[in-house]
Amino acid sequence: MAVPTFVDRVTLLVSAGRGGNGVASVHREKFKPLGGPDGGNGGPGGSVILRVDPDVTTLIDYHHNAKRKATHGGHGAGAHRNGAHGEDLVLPVPDGTVVTEDGAVLADLVGAGTEMVIAEGGRGGLGNAALASAKRKAPGFALLGEPGEERTIGLELKVVADIGLVGFPSAGKSSLIAAISRARPKIADYPFTTLVPNLGVVKAGDTTFTVADVPGLIEGASEGRGLGHDFLRHIERCAALLHVIDLATLEPGRNPVEDLEVMENELAKYGGLEDRPRLVALNKADLPDGADMAEIVRADVAERGWPVFTISALSHAGLKELTFAMAEIVTDARRERVVEVTERIVLRPRSTGGDDEFTITETGEGWRVRGTKPERWIRQTDFSNEEAVGFLADRLNRLGVETRLLQLGAKEGDPVLIGHPDNAVVFDFKPGLDAGASEMLGRRGEDQRLREDRPAAERRRAIDALMPYREESETRADVARRYDAGDFDPALLEDDE
């Protein structure tokens, strides 16, 4: 199997690093057994960043390795020591890379140094020193680090060039780009020699510009014939198009005027290139009858109002006039072009709660709460620590979740589900669960408000007891659904007790 050397489309799975956990720690020294909380914060996870690098011209590296992952943040420690920051993963991409997700364009990366944070690292969890307050002087818990973003994106390269060469196979496009620049594409006497786009840098007077040569167009390319139509996106950014017409084709039924008509028809079917200025180069004038053929068709071609040049890529005849004409078009286009400032694009996760901070909807399973803040707080909570669960309840109460539930008609004991339906956390609604008014009493890590027997607590304990009996492919959410449906043998819970 041939190994590709030019790749202009890839699918890439990027994963940012998880944030480190905060730590619950108490300062201790001689004669000061309880010197106050000193748990440090977890470090943020590393982000995945796309950066335009002028030295990169293909996406082949991501074709061979389509999964990229940044490093995790370090966990906090006692004595106010914060965790290390995860290292960002910078992925170099060619100039002109279009980033997509689920068919939608996220960004068009043009200009050296342009950056895009495609997956943001998870936040580090706060240690108990950062959580201490006048009402909670010695928290017995810390927050967990958040997972980093993970997304599957598409990268599509659209070459950034000033002039695009289009023409039939073997019209001499590769020979032309080799004659006017230092590019050395493959040149041979058979069709479809060019299999990938070629770029050349041309200097005409004080103007330097780039020329892109794409595989040859043929009639029916828009229906999938040949190669050129698939690569036309590489000339979408060009300031002008140069039709390279073969004056000495040996194929029956072809002539320069009809070739031009066919190419324009295919460009029209592709779309988006109607406003580009055109030039026409009648190539191979050095061959027998080539110059005579140029004189015969020149008037017909010029009827379109485009500049026409008779050239020979082999003998270099007419190339100086052609390159200066191209330079003039490029200069005019650059004068009108708005200067693009290098930018750093940061993608933010889409809000799950719309414009509000959260939404509540009634479902057959209970009251479902969705929103960026509630779901983030769920991810940060250590549910094995009662005090951390009480702190979560306080945060939700201050956000107004309890008030909204009461307004919607929720009653005590109703199930409240927070998060995505596939992995939601379920609580029983109990109004007035707030510890903000006084210092919590009890042992560290405990919350007296949660000590009573409540249906949700019973349900959680039952699910914990049934986890060893789950199928290999089942998750905790699957076990919870089976428990709610009564699919487990009650004897399993009795044995556990």
Annotated binding site for Mg(2+): 174, 194
Burial of 7 (0-12, 13-18, 19+ CB in 10 A): middle
Residue ranges at the known binding site: 167-174, 192-196, 213-216, 283-286, 312-314
Partners of 216 in beta bridges: none
Look at the alpha carbons of 434, 438, 442, 445 in this order and tell me if their dihedral is positive or negative: positive
Burial of 224 (0-12, 13-18, 19+ CB in 10 A): exposed
| E strand or H helix at 326 | helix 319-336
* Three-state secondary-structure class, residue 313: coil
Place of tokens 């002028």: 54
The helix-helix angle for 290-302 and 256-270 (nearest 10°) equals 50
Query: Which residue from 88, 69, 83, 80 is spatially nearest to 21, judged by alpha carbons?
Result: 83
Q: Does residue 142 come out as left (phi exceeding 0), alpha (psi in the -120 to 50 range) or beta? A: beta
Which tokens is 405 given? 């539930």
The CA–CA distances, whole Å, from 347 to 89, 196, 198, 344 equal 15, 32, 32, 10
**φ, ψ (nearest 5 deg) of residue 406:** -65, -40
Query: Which residue from 199, 193, 192, 158 is spatially nearest to 178, judged by alpha carbons?
Result: 199
Residue ranges at the known binding site for GTP: 167-174, 192-196, 213-216, 283-286, 312-314
Query: Which residue from 308, 313, 440, 325 is spatially nearest to 386, judged by alpha carbons?
Result: 440
Dist. CA 84–CA 336, nearest whole Å: 48
| Strands of the sheet with 425-428, listed across from one edge | 359-362, 367-370, 415-418, 425-428
* Three-state secondary-structure class, residue 347: coil
Whether the CB-CB separation of 201 and 57 falls below 8 Å is answered with: no
Dist. CA 118–CA 123, nearest whole Å: 16
Q: DSSP letter at 305? A: S
